[in-house]
Amino acid sequence: MKFAVISFPGSNCDQDVCHVTGEVLQVATEILRHDVRQDLTDYDTVILPGGFSYGDYLRSGAIARFSPIMEDVINYAEAGGLVLGICNGFQILLEAGLLPGAMKVNDSVKFVCRQVAITVESSETAFTGGLTRGETLQMPVAHQEGNYYIDPAGLEQLKADDQIVFRYLNQEENPNGSLADIAGVCNQEKNVLGLMPHPERASEKILGSEDGKKIFASLLDYLSSREES
């Protein structure tokens, strides 16, 4: 099994994700540069980490999506490859059109970093197969643009196709004012997931929560059973 973490200029959670998948979960993980075209087919999962790609001076993720390697990520996703975008990675997936919707600045207009409670809304993805619908997870968020938005028709579509994967537990737990308390969505094919909370920050007991590890554990279970079959 082998994971790829894409490092854009300004990514700052690439090493963190690599630490969790590589050291904690013991999956071979490689960090790939944004500016080198890559055949990604050999990787079992591609992760777009958090950070401030290109400083987020324009809309978050708006420049990163033009990075050469994004063409390979899009090809990989369209071929059914598993793609996980965390925080800035989620924003990049939205900008790249791999996920529906858009991100606005938090209602508070401020950066927010704190632990929040989210609920699992769908266990129909490779990332949440080991979780049960309605299960609550404790995970940190850290962002200024996490206010997810989609038009009413789009929202209906998301609901109809079971694409809302995570929600903040309630309005108080919602750190950014996102529509319908949405914290994470997937594409229709369910192989691409983006979420604002940071599962890699909740994958070791010493850091206060291991709930994020459950997402990675689901992923590993899915991949192991795929390898066996």
Partner 1 sequence: MTEEKVWESEGLTAEEYEMITAGLGRQPNRTELGMFGVMWSEHCSYKNSLAVLRSLPTEGERVLQGPGENAGIIDIGDGQAVSFKIESHNHPSAIEPYQGAATGVGGIIRDIFTMGARPIALLDSLRFGELDDEHVRYLFEEVVAGIAGYGNSIGVPTVAGETFFSPKYQGNPLVNAMCVGLMDQQDISTATARGIGNPVMVVGAATGRDGIQGASFASDELTEESEEDRPAVQVGDPFREKLLMEASLELIKTGALVGIQDMGAAGLISSSSEMASRGEAGIEMDTALVPKREEGMTPYEVLLSESQERMLVVPRQGKEELVKEIFKKWGLNAAVIGKVTDDGKIRVYNQGEPAAEVPVRLLVDDAPVYQREGCRPAYLNELQEFSTGDFLAKQKKNRRGTDYNQELVKLLTSENLAAKNSIYEQYDHMVQLNTVILPGSDAAVLRIKGKNKGLALTVDCNGRYCYLDPERGAEIAVAEAARNLVCSGAEPLAVTDGLNFGNPLNPEVFWQFERAAAGITRACQELATPVTGGNVSFYNESPAGAIYPTPIIGMVGLLEDLSQATDQYFKEEGDLIVLLGETGAELGGSEYLKVIHDRVGGKIPELDYIREKSVQNLCLKAIKQGLIKSAHDCAEGGLAVALFESCSGNSRGARVTVETELLPEELLFSESQSRIIISLDEENMAEFSELADKSQAGYQIIGRVQGRTLKINNLIEVEIEELKAKWQAALPAMIN
Residue with tokens 């196709």: 161
Say how many residues make up the chain: 229
**Min CB(186)–partner 1 separation in Å:** 25
**Min CB(34)–partner 1 separation in Å:** 11
> Could you give the strand order of the β-sheet that contains 136-143, starting from the edge strand earlier in sequence?
28-33, 2-7, 45-48, 82-86, 192-195, 182-186, 164-168, 112-120, 136-143
Catalytic position from the list 13, 18, 87, 186: 87
Task: Examine residue 52 and tell whether it contacts partner 1 (CB under 8 A).
Answer: yes
Stretch that binds partner 1, among 64-72, 138-146, 161-169, 181-189 (CB under 8 A): 138-146
Is residue 160 classed as helix, strand or coil in its secondary structure? Answer: helix
- 200 labelled catalytic: yes
State how far the Cα of 49 lies from the Cα of 5, in Å rounded to an integer.
Answer: 7
- 143 labelled catalytic: no
Task: Examine residue 146 and tell whether it contacts partner 1 (CB under 8 A).
Answer: no
Task: Examine residue 123 and tell whether it contacts partner 1 (CB under 8 A).
Answer: no
Q: Please enumerate in sequence order all residues whose Cβ is within 8 A of that of 4, keeping only pairs 6 or more positions apart, or say none.
A: 29, 30, 31, 32, 38, 40, 43, 45, 46, 47
Task: Examine residue 142 and tell whether it contacts partner 1 (CB under 8 A).
Answer: yes
Task: Examine residue 37 and tell whether it contacts partner 1 (CB under 8 A).
Answer: no
Please compute Rg for the chain using Cα positions.
16
- 198 labelled catalytic: yes
Task: Examine residue 113 and tell whether it contacts partner 1 (CB under 8 A).
Answer: yes
Task: Examine residue 173 and tell whether it contacts partner 1 (CB under 8 A).
Answer: no
Stretch that binds partner 1, among 44-52, 69-77, 124-132, 187-195 (CB under 8 A): 44-52
Residue with tokens 């324009």: 58
Out of 54, 90, 166, 222, point to the residue binding partner 1 (CB under 8 A).
54
Task: Examine residue 55 and tell whether it contacts partner 1 (CB under 8 A).
Answer: yes
Task: Examine residue 214 and tell whether it contacts partner 1 (CB under 8 A).
Answer: no
Which amino acid is it at 165? V
- As to burial, measured by CB atoms within 10 angstroms (0-12 exposed, 13-18 middle, 19+ buried), residue 112 is middle
Angle 4-209-8 from CA coordinates, rounded to 5°: 30
Task: Examine residue 206 and tell whether it contacts partner 1 (CB under 8 A).
Answer: yes
Residues forming the site for partner 1 (CB under 8 A): 9-10, 12-13, 15-16, 19-20, 23, 50-52, 54-57, 110-114, 140, 142, 144, 198, 200-201, 204, 206-208
Residues identified as active-site: 87, 198, 200
